[in-house]
Amino acid sequence: MKRLFFALWPELHIRQQCATLTGKLNSSGKPVTPANLHVTLLFLGRTSPEQQAAVTREASQIPASPTTLKFDHLSFWKKPAVLCLTASQFDQNLSKLHENLVNIAKQQGIAVEDRPFTPHVTLVKKAYSVIDIGFSPVIWHSDGFCLVESCAGANGIEYRIIERWTTTL
């Protein structure tokens, strides 16, 4: 069993913009290491090899349409105690992608959250304060999505990209 999730995986310059912003926050908590920054599209959790093979096959059939996100808000979510970058605007392609992935997971008997999709990049974990600073929005043009494994590494959580689907393939 692997702990899997679908995600948008940012290019280096987006990671850098996010990391610079995190540095300016000067907040309590644990900043997410720049290499780990991402947008979770759908968390699958513990997934069997059969389920992995099926979701991979089905995800390959989804058109990996380009999508643009404008991350222009900082949100503090009290219960998970995280500070996130959230997007006030994102396009239909992303909503459709999320919907397709939910359907694929459900077809494989994978329990997924029914909450509305809120694209976000977690910047700081174990945070306990609201930070209100002005900043330039992070505009992210994404041209694909990934299936990612979450692993416990020697230095904390590591994410390994298992599959990547892009518009340029």
Q: Are 68 and 61 in contact (CB under 8 A)?
A: no
Among 122, 145, 146, 165, binds ligand 2AM (CB under 6 A): 122
Shortest distance (Å) from residue 38 CB to ligand 2AM: 6
What one-letter code names the amino acid at 165?
W
β-pairing, 120-125 with 138-142? unpaired
Contact between 47 and ligand 2AM by CB under 6 A: the answer reads no
Shortest distance (Å) from residue 150 CB to ligand 2AM: 4
Shortest distance (Å) from residue 98 CB to ligand 2AM: 13
Among 9, 43, 76, 135, binds ligand 2AM (CB under 6 A): 43
Active site residue 120: yes
Please list the alpha-helical segments (H only) found in 60-137.
92-107
Contact between 142 and ligand 2AM by CB under 6 A: the answer reads no
Catalytic member of 13, 73, 98, 120: 120
Tokens of 135: 């900043």
How far is it, in rounded angstroms, from Cα 125 to Cα 114? 23
Active site residue 98: no
Residues 6 or more apart in contact with residue 27 via CB below 8 angstroms: 83, 124, 127, 129, 131
Catalytic member of 13, 38, 98, 141: 38
Tokens of 46: 């513990």
Q: For the chain, count helices (H), then strands (E).
A: 3, 9
Contact between 22 and ligand 2AM by CB under 6 A: the answer reads no
What residues between 64 and 83 interact with ligand 2AM by CB under 6 A? none
Q: Which residues are catalytic?
A: 38, 120
Instruction: Catalog residues that contact ligand 2AM under the rule CB under 6 A.
Output: 5, 40, 43, 113, 122, 150
